[in-house]
Amino acid sequence: MQSFQFSYGPRLIAAPGAAERLAELLPAGRCLFVTDGQLRDLGLADAALAALGQAGRAPTVFDAVEADPSRETLMAAVAAGEGCASVVGFGGGSPMDVAKLAAYLLGSGEPLDDLWGVGRATGKRLPLALVPTTAGTGSEATPVSIITIGGAEKKGVSSPALVADWALLDAALTTGLPRAVTAATGIDAMVHAIEAYTSARLKNPMSDLLAREALRLLAANIDLACETPSDLEARGAMLLGAHLAGVAFANAPVGGVHALAYPLGGHFHVPHGASNALMLTHVLGHNMPSAMPLYAELGTMLDPGLERLGTQGRAQGFVEQMAAICRRSGVPLRLSEVGVGREHLDLLAREAMKQERLLVNNPCAIDEADARRLYEAAL
């Protein structure tokens, strides 16, 4: 058997209403509650905040987190959290990423610029609980926080110290999501599972097990979650699938799809899930020479009818299945739909090359010329 290491991630509670149990999971004292203004306006955080207040946790609410959160937002959250005994991240990937890194900075007192990259955050953070309100990023399961620097470049901190103590999967929080958000975040989670399963670095039997189950749950429920948003069973399955994919890619990290998606978010403010969907089939095609047997395995898992085909046919069938899911979901399919033109291709390709920590995990090498070609194919 191959040698490998695997981390199971945070302790998990999955149940409707789970967010109201936050108070029993956190230490006494004031709590920094990181979320965004839209979630506050929708009232999604009300029950959790009330429960925290009634239990004497006196939440300090920081709700200024934007999509692709900036360094300035992160540091404002840290300032708001001075004197707090714990941190809650409540929302999509952006609030949870800010909460993770804020908990670490508050607990360790270390300078942010010493932490960028993999394994450089080795101090102690504040107790941390994360509550996802979308079934996509898997941020509640991962040791990664992504912050936008200088308005366009995305930088990450990746360290076991950022893994939360608790993740709470509350399907009732996701039933009001717009279709576009459900679709984009669901595809984001599917990309996490696919890239973990095909990761050129640190892929292992445990991450494979979770990635396959994650993809099965997500593929079986994304259409229903989009078409019948109040279906708690489908919503719960999507949340669990996203979480399992998060644990998988926390151990077997993502690659080329994410590397090419990040510049679209940084420069054109395309939502992360939509960015992944735009680049997915093009990167899958690029990876086919190396990843064909693995794509074939995923293809037959999603469609047993592909068993009658050879390896290449099963692998191509998998790519076509993913393309069909993207079409049915209604996410943008061409870069031109999100404001990207031919004149932007060189910039995007250069920016993608900065994502070295992701590119090293891709089953096939992607150089700047490859990246430009893949962006051009997606126009």
pLDDT digits (tens, 9 = 90+) for 265-299: 989 989 889 999 999 999 999 999 999 999 999 99
Residue 186 · residue 225 · CB < 8 Å:
yes
Question: Over the stretch 321-340, which tens digit does the pLDDT of each residue have?
Answer: 999 999 999 999 999 999 99
Claim to verify: residue 337 and residue 190 sit in the same structural domain: yes
Claim to verify: residue 219 and residue 255 sit in the same structural domain: yes
pLDDT value, residue 239: 97
If pLDDT is split at 50, 70 and 90, which confidence band does 1 have? confident
Write the CATH number for 16.
3.40.50.1970
- Helix or strand holding residue 291 (H, E): helix 272-302
pLDDT value, residue 68: 87
Claim to verify: residue 114 and residue 144 sit in the same structural domain: yes
pTM: 0.94
Amino acid residing at 275:
S
Claim to verify: residue 35 and residue 94 sit in the same structural domain: yes
pLDDT value, residue 2: 83
Residue pointed to by tokens 């031109």: 336
State the Cα–Cα distance between residues 101 and 96, nearest whole angstrom.
Answer: 9
What domain range includes position 141? 11-173
Q: How many domains does the chain have?
A: 2
Does 2 fall in a domain? no
Residue 157 · residue 145 · CB < 8 Å:
yes
Residue 151 has pLDDT above 80, yes or no: no
pLDDT value, residue 316: 97
pLDDT value, residue 266: 86
What is the residue-averaged pLDDT of the chain?
95
User: Within 176-271, where are the H helices?
Assistant: 179-197, 205-227, 232-251, 256-268
Claim to verify: residue 201 and residue 274 sit in the same structural domain: yes
Q: Work out the average pLDDT over 298-309.
A: 96
Burial of 161 (0-12, 13-18, 19+ CB in 10 A): buried
Q: Work out the average pLDDT over 134-162.
A: 92
Q: For the chain, what percent of residues have pLDDT higher than 70?
A: 100
Does 202 fall in a domain? yes
Claim to verify: residue 199 and residue 165 sit in the same structural domain: no
pLDDT value, residue 154: 84
Residue 86 has pLDDT above 90, yes or no: yes
